Amino acid sequence: MYTISHYIDAASYEGTPGATQPVVNPSTGQRQAEVKMANKDDVDAAIAAAAKAQPAWAALNPQRRARIIGEWIRLIHANMDDLARTLSSEHGKTFNDAKGDILRGVDVLEFCLGAPHQLKGEFSSEVGAGLDTFSLRQPLGVVAGITPFNFPAMIPLWKAGPALACGNGFVLKPSERDPSVPVRLAELFVEAGGPAGIFNVVHGGKEAVDAILDSEVVQAVAFVGSTPIAQYIYERCAATGKRSQCFGGAKNHAIVLPDADIEAAADALVGAAFGSAGERCMALSVVVPVGEETAGKLREAIVAKMTTLKVGHSLDPEADYGPLVSAQARDRVVSLIDEGVEAGAELVSDGRTLDLSNASFEGASLADGYFVGPTFFDHVKASMSIYTEEIFGPVLCMVRAETIEEAAAYPSEHHYGNGVAIFTRSGGAARDFFTSVNVGMVGVNVPIPVPIAYHTFGGWKDSSFGDLNQHGPDAFRFYTKTKTVTTRWPDECEVGPDFTMPIMK
């Protein structure tokens, strides 16, 4: 048992005595740590540290800030195995998947090495007689990130990297369910030469979040998590004049056309539906084959591949995926499976029957772990809760369609609009689909189309509130404000005031 404290002003911060919450290893159900839960005073201490340190950080030229980020990247690589092991033991994703979580975050740090280029302003000469205009991108001041449990390295890095590269002070409120890696990332930033107070971490739940939202010092909030909380934060930020970008839940569809390579599509679907126990905002959780023949072949291929999947301890190198993050998450997934059965969907493969009560890994019993086996429903209807809700578990739903138009309407009309994929050999059909579908990120024969770091990531509809995406050039816009300067250097003073609106001559 160990205690995970806040990290403020480059030091472990005990904070207000009292509130803690257990951090559990989801593979075993055993409590392994206690995390401190911040109250308003603790959050205010983090914000104050960031506010104190930020002006000097902003005054450092962007290239020197980028060099610190470069060293940070090196240290993250040097600590990769430790970080991945800790992440895996708190989240429950496999060790290799945990490395992927960290590396997709590092990708964005690498993009941030180009901060001097991203922060270059614009200049227009001779906009009028003797007049020049230029724009500067300046940091906002103190900004906050509030992040979910399912990517405890990637998403904190997506928020921290650009915020810091732009010259802001940063307060991170990571998920209280897997809080160790975010603290370690902040420590490594300081080891890399980042100044004290620039990257602070406070743990907690609603009380800590509300303290961030109520702060008059915090200028912007970047949130990722479930849709109800995303909407709550977006509304609170609007009410208090804070800039915000709030990314929410998802229900990602895969459309499979009759001309698709069925084996390849089934491989992609099984990986994208069940990888990380389905706890990814880009998990493919609905498949829509076009035509009964396609549906039949695809169903057979999926079932065959599912039978070989191994569910086990997150550190078991043979496990394809591990447990859900908590007992509550497991119980929610199981109850949604119950609802699907009651609603009349055909349960082809029932993950509720997975029994690991006699299993163990390196001496640790899995009997109390939060496992759900791979689950596959066929003949799912749009009215069922397994279709309308984000299950966030290892559950794949097949919805059958007769035509491509009918299939394409499903993702377009769903209230979530994060990601979608189409499997086909037809360039024309794919093009029609990706130009018209009402979803933010599209894969063509690519199951999890998470854009690379120099493009931007963001869903549509209930998957995102705010107008700028995460990472890529949008992040530099989000974390800076534009100042536009118009200059004139006359040789002689002009005489007399002018009372008309200045126009360019």
Footprint of ligand NAD on this chain (CB under 6 A)?
A: 146-151, 173, 175-176, 205-206, 209, 224-226, 229, 247-250, 281, 390, 392, 418, 459, 463
Around Cβ 503, how many Cβ atoms within 10 Å? 6
Closest by CA to 424, choosing from 441, 446, 396, is 446
**152 or 374, CB closer to ligand NAD?**
152
To ligand NAD, the closest distance from the beta carbon of 104 in angstroms equals 11
**139 or 225, CB closer to ligand NAD?**
225
How far is 208 from 35, CA to CA, in rounded Å? 13
**175 or 294, CB closer to ligand NAD?**
175
State the first-to-last Cα distance of the chain, in angstroms, to the nearest integer: 73
- Which residues neighbour 82 within 8 Å (Cβ) at sequence distance 6 or greater? 184
281 in catalytic set: yes
Rg of the chain (C-alpha set): 25
Closest by CA to 151, choosing from 102, 84, 106, 111, is 102
To ligand NAD, the closest distance from the beta carbon of 470 in angstroms equals 6
To ligand NAD, the closest distance from the beta carbon of 141 in angstroms equals 22
**146 or 268, CB closer to ligand NAD?**
146
DSSP state at residue 454: T
> Which of 112, 166, 246, 281 is flagged as catalytic?
281
**214 or 342, CB closer to ligand NAD?**
214
DSSP for 225-238, please give it: S-HHHHHHHHHHHH
How far is 108 from 166, CA to CA, in rounded Å? 13
Check: CB of residue 36 under 8 Å from CB of residue 15.
Answer: yes
**138 or 412, CB closer to ligand NAD?**
412
To ligand NAD, the closest distance from the beta carbon of 463 in angstroms equals 5
To ligand NAD, the closest distance from the beta carbon of 190 in angstroms equals 22
Check: CB of residue 394 under 8 Å from CB of residue 400.
Answer: no
Range 363-366 contact pairs with CB under 8 angstroms and sequence separation of 24 or more: 364/27, 364/28, 364/30, 364/313, 365/28, 366/27, 366/28, 366/312, 366/313
To ligand NAD, the closest distance from the beta carbon of 135 in angstroms equals 29
Among all residues, which ones are annotated catalytic?
281
